[in-house]
Amino acid sequence: MTRLMLQIRSLSKSFGDASVIGGLDLDIADGGTTAVVGPSGCGKTTLLRIIAGFERPAAGTVAIAGTTVAGPGCDIAPHRRGVGYVTQDGALFPHLTVGGNIAYGLGRLRNAAVRTRVEQLLRTVSLDPALARRRPDELSGGQQQRVALARALACKPTLMLLDEPFSSLDARLRVATRNSVAEALAEAAVSTLLVTHDQQEALSIADRVAVMLDGRFTQVGTPQEVYLRPANRSTAEFLGDCVFIPCTVAEGTAECVLGRVAAPAADGPGTLMLRPEQLRAVAVSDRDQGSAAAGVVTAVEFFGGEVVLTVDIGAGSGPVTARQSSFDAPTAHAKVRIDVIGEGVVFRSDDG
């Protein structure tokens, strides 16, 4: 049986009359990485603060490594929970060196064992041990975040909490730092909970993703499950661009303006959801234009390796969007056929 490092049950929190989070359940396996993704103000940081012990829940329980740390009649102090916490800005001590920051809580850097531990931690987060003598303001943003992670790892936490740790970095540095941090956490075998508003970040770094909207989890699953098979329309739209088309389902196949699309769902009318990357526009000649899945490219957005095509498919259904490789892609005003890759998801009128 998989050991649970974090177990949350029926967790709720309000500030005054405003409910911030309500009835959350979440499990994180030993050594696993879970990302909670949601828009600003949905309750993500409040959830982390409750787990860390900086806020008390109104109801529900939090257990870390099998020990209840928050709940009715239970409120273990933050420093006794075995939790590491990395914030958005890293919160390094400006008056201490990098080595002093990492060694905080371990002892004085004059101690040989502490110096050795600091050097090991710098290497773990892919930094040169020589940086130990520098001040935080002499480092780049990405280096500061990795130092913050090294400081959090210094006391060998049971659980690592990351609160939007990469959001202040530019796009290229964000990806590099994210990969470095993910490798360091995997090497240290630390169970991790990341909160972020960045969908791509959540999908790329975690083995499980919890989508949080208005203080509740709308879906928890693998990155592939929540993106390709969202539980409802709200989850689908938050995680990425969608193409919605009216359809009728019969025996696992959706009939729509794009033709027949595999869609495991109960028979009857509904709305077919596809991701733009599931649609591929292929240029056709005039005599092929009569195809049910044919249309005309009305707009092309070029993004280097890929293009986003807006295609008018007529039939009163409005345009659809296809995202595909920019090599040999149809041009504006080209007549195209739309091929569908993979299965679609069907939503009914009551699917949020």
Looking at the structure, tell me whether residues 78 and 127 fall in a common domain. Answer: yes
Nearest to 126 by CA among 190, 186, 198: 186
Yes or no: say if 78 and 161 are a contact pair by the CB < 8 Å rule: no
**What pLDDT, on a 0 to 100 scale, did the predictor assign at position 313?**
87
Distance CA 98, CA 104 (A): 10
Q: In the listed set 235, 250, 280, which residue is the last one of a domain according to the structure?
A: 235
Nearest to 278 by CA among 240, 246, 331, 231: 240
Strands 306-312 and 268-274, sheet pairing: unpaired
**What pLDDT, on a 0 to 100 scale, did the predictor assign at position 1?**
56
DSSP collapsed to 3 states, 232-245: CHHHHHHHCCCEEE
pLDDT in tens, 9-41: 999 999 988 899 989 999 999 988 999 999 988
Looking at the structure, tell me whether residues 180 and 278 fall in a common domain. Answer: no
Distance CA 50, CA 58 (A): 10
Q: How confident is the model at residue 350 (pLDDT cuts 50, 70, 90)?
A: low
Q: How confident is the model at residue 219 (pLDDT cuts 50, 70, 90)?
A: very high
Task: Answer yes or no: is 352 within a domain.
Answer: no
pLDDT tops 70 at residue 74: yes
Which structural domain, as residue segments, surrounds residue 126? 4-235
Q: What is the widest separation between alpha-carbon atoms in the chain?
A: 81
> Where is pLDDT greater, at 294 or 8?
8
Proportion of the chain above pLDDT 70, given as a percent:
94
Angstrom distances, CA of residue 85 to CA of 90, 124, 210, 215: 9, 17, 19, 21
Angstrom distances, CA of residue 301 to CA of 222, 227, 322, 323, 332: 30, 23, 10, 9, 10
pLDDT in tens, 260-306: 999 999 999 999 999 999 999 999 876 665 555 578 999 999 999 99
- For residues 137-156, average pLDDT: 85
**What pLDDT, on a 0 to 100 scale, did the predictor assign at position 69?**
95
pTM of the model: 0.86
What is the CA 209 to chain-centroid distance, rounded? Answer: 6
Q: In the listed set 180, 208, 235, which residue is the last one of a domain according to the structure?
A: 235
Q: What is the CATH number of the domain that holds 294?
A: 2.40.50.140
Proportion of the chain above pLDDT 90, given as a percent:
57
pLDDT in tens, 317-327: 789 999 999 99
The count of domains in the chain is 2
**What pLDDT, on a 0 to 100 scale, did the predictor assign at position 297?**
94
Considering only 33-37, 60-64, 162-166, which range has the smallest mean pLDDT? Answer: 162-166
Q: What share of the chain is helix, strand, coil (3-state, %, to 5)?
A: 30, 35, 35
Nearest to 110 by CA among 123, 97, 122, 121: 97
Neighbours of 72 (CB within 10 A): 10
- For residues 120-145, average pLDDT: 87
Task: Answer yes or no: is 350 within a domain.
Answer: no
Looking at the structure, tell me whether residues 323 and 250 fall in a common domain. Answer: yes
Looking at the structure, tell me whether residues 183 and 325 fall in a common domain. Answer: no
Task: Answer yes or no: is 230 within a domain.
Answer: yes
Looking at the structure, tell me whether residues 112 and 248 fall in a common domain. Answer: no
Q: What is the CATH number of the domain that holds 100?
A: 3.40.50.300
Looking at the structure, tell me whether residues 227 and 287 fall in a common domain. Answer: no
**What pLDDT, on a 0 to 100 scale, did the predictor assign at position 302?**
96
pLDDT tops 60 at residue 334: yes
In the predicted model, what is the mean pLDDT of the chain? 89
